[in-house]
């Protein structure tokens, strides 16, 4: 498989393939850009259908982290790690230790945090081997102390971003009665759903794990729909909160929502799909802008955590999106394209 010629390669500085026979580790670490600082990004574990899928995912995700940190005004670059395997079956302490050793060999060029398929406990175990781990410190919250898990910050930032998108597209500040379809109600998705429910929104949810949609139905009065039906719901907002590439040739024609604003990474299967959304009059909140709360949370952990400063920084997602929406409207360009231009101005200067 060619790597340099992949469309997703995007001038990555470094791509490392890691393996360990004893633990069964098969992982890829990608450093996209370190102009603004060390490359920080989550460590994902997933049962990829092929090694090529894993390579494409880590390249897309690491690039997204560069743009995310730049848009959030962080002194960080973009990186990511993916581990090929089922986290519910294949993840062991030995595998995590082998991954930590691989990260340590990069001497701080890449800093890992939790992601899909990993958690704070995993990161704490890896921290015993390498100092290049983040997102593990307990932090103050509005309900006492919480773990280093950045997902609450990601969910809050996405909630802030939905408010901005609703203001731009629907001209309203209140979310009371807003109809939202959430694709994925895991850690981030359920937290976001809870905030939307508290604000008076009505929810439709889908997830591949039945226990997660059952919880949303029982605790948040959400309407449960099939995973293939979630795109076509007659709602105001479609919020992708699972894996990427969900906005594609198959799904975009099904959409009825005038707004797409969710927490998942790499929502557009291809850049051209941002143009498709614009032509259909659908407002897209660029994923790496709206879901930046988690990386902001980890950044503040690294510089000395102050909850008020963190909340103020995350609230800035609203203004970032409104700047993108305004510029896209004036220039008649897709919002994702405008976001890319702004981010590149920041990390390439």
pLDDT at 141: 62
Question: Is 50 exceeded by the pLDDT of residue 145?
Answer: no
Q: Are 133 and 63 in contact (CB under 8 A)?
A: no
Closest alpha carbon to 202 in 176, 225, 221, 179: 179
Question: Is 80 exceeded by the pLDDT of residue 349?
Answer: no
Cα→Cα distances 143→103, 147, 292, Å = 34, 12, 22
Please report where in the chains the tokens 């880590």 appear, as a residue.
Answer: 58
Q: Are 334 and 278 in contact (CB under 8 A)?
A: yes
Cα→Cα distances 199→152, 177, 324, Å = 16, 9, 25
* Residues 185, 192, 74, 122, CA torsion sign: negative
The packing angle between helices 51-71 and 293-303, to 10°, is 70
Give strand pairing partners of 317. none
| CA 302 – CA 305 distance, rounded (Å) | 7
pLDDT at 140: 63
φ, ψ for residue 20 (rounded to 5)?
A: -150, 115
| Strands 144-146 and 179-183, bridge-based pairing | unpaired
Give 274-329 pLDDT, tens digit per residue.
999 999 999 999 999 999 999 999 999 888 888 899 999 999 999 999 999 999 99
φ, ψ for residue 85 (rounded to 5)?
A: 160, 160
Q: What is the mean pLDDT of residues 31-55?
A: 95
φ, ψ for residue 247 (rounded to 5)?
A: -105, 100
Q: What percent of the chain has pLDDT over 90?
A: 86
Assign domain 14-136 one CATH number from 1.10.3720.10, 3.40.190.10, 3.40.50.10860, 3.10.290.10: 3.40.50.10860
| CA 81 – CA 133 distance, rounded (Å) | 12
Give 249-270 pLDDT, tens digit per residue.
999 999 999 999 999 988 999 9
Q: What is the mean pLDDT of residues 167-191?
A: 97
Higher-pLDDT residue of 244, 53: 53
Please report where in the chains the tokens 């200067």 appear, as a residue.
Answer: 349
**Which residue numbers are catalytic?**
80
Q: What is the mean pLDDT of residues 194-199?
A: 98
Domain-wise residue ranges, the chain: 14-136, 146-347
CATH number for the domain running over 146-347? 3.40.50.720
Does the fold of domain 146-347 match that of domain 14-136? Answer: yes
| CA 234 – CA 252 distance, rounded (Å) | 14
| CA 293 – CA 325 distance, rounded (Å) | 19
| CA 40 – CA 65 distance, rounded (Å) | 7
Give strand pairing partners of 40. 78, 111
Higher-pLDDT residue of 234, 139: 234
Tokens standing for residue 274: 């941002």
pTM, two decimal places? 0.88
∠ CA 131-30-7 to the nearest 5 degrees?
Answer: 165
How far apart, in Å, do the first and last CA atoms of the chain sit? 33
Q: Cβ neighbours of residue 65 under 8 Å, at least 6 residues apart?
A: 32, 39, 40, 41, 76, 77, 78, 79, 80, 288, 295
Average pLDDT, the chain: 94
Provide the 10 A C-beta neighbour count for residue 24: 15
Q: What percent of the chain has pLDDT over 70?
A: 95
pLDDT at 7: 66
SS3 content of the chain, % helix, strand, coil (to 5): 45, 20, 40
């Amino acid at each position: 498989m060619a790597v340099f010629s992949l469309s997703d390669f995007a001038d990555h500085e470094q791509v490392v393939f890691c393996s360990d026979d004893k633990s069964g580790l098969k992982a890829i670490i990608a450093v996209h850009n370190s102009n603004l600082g060390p490359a920080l990004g989550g460590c994902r574990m997933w049962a990829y259908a092929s090694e090529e899928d894993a390579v494409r995912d880590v390249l897309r995700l690491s690039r997204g982290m560069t743009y995310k940190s730049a848009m959030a005004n962080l002194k960080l670059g973009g990186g990511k790690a993916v581990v090929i395997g089922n986290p519910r079956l294949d993840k062991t302490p030995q595998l995590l230790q082998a991954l930590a050793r691989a990260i340590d060999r990069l001497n701080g060029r890449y800093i890992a945090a939790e992601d899909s398929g990993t958690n704070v406990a995993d990161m704490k175990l890896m921290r015993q081997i390498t100092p290049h781990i983040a997102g593990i410190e307990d932090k103050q919250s509005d309900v006492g102390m919480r773990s280093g898990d950045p997902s609450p910050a990601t969910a809050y930032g996405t909630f802030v971003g939905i408010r901005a998108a609703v203001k731009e597209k629907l001209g309203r500040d209140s979310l009371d009665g807003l109809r939202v379809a959430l694709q994925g109600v895991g850690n981030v998705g359920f937290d976001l759903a809870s905030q939307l429910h508290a604000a008076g929104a009505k929810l439709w949810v889908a997830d591949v794990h039945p226990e997660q949609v059952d919880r949303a139905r029982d605790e948040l009065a959400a309407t449960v729909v099939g995973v293939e039906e979630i795109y076509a719901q007659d709602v105001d907002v479609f919020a992708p909160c699972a894996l990427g590439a969900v906005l594609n040739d198959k799904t975009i024609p099904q959409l009825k929502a005038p707004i797409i604003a969710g927490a998942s990474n790499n929502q557009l299967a291809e850049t051209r799909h941002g143009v498709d959304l614009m032509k259909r009059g659908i407002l897209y909140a660029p994923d790496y802008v709206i879901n930046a709360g988690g990386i902001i949370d980890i950044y503040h952990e690294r510089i000395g955590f102050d909850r008020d400063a963190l909340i103020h920084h995350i609230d800035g997602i609203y203004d970032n999106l409104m700047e993108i929406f305004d510029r896209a409207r004036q220039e008649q360009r897709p919002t994702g394209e405008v976001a890319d231009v702004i981010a590149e101005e920041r990390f390439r200067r």
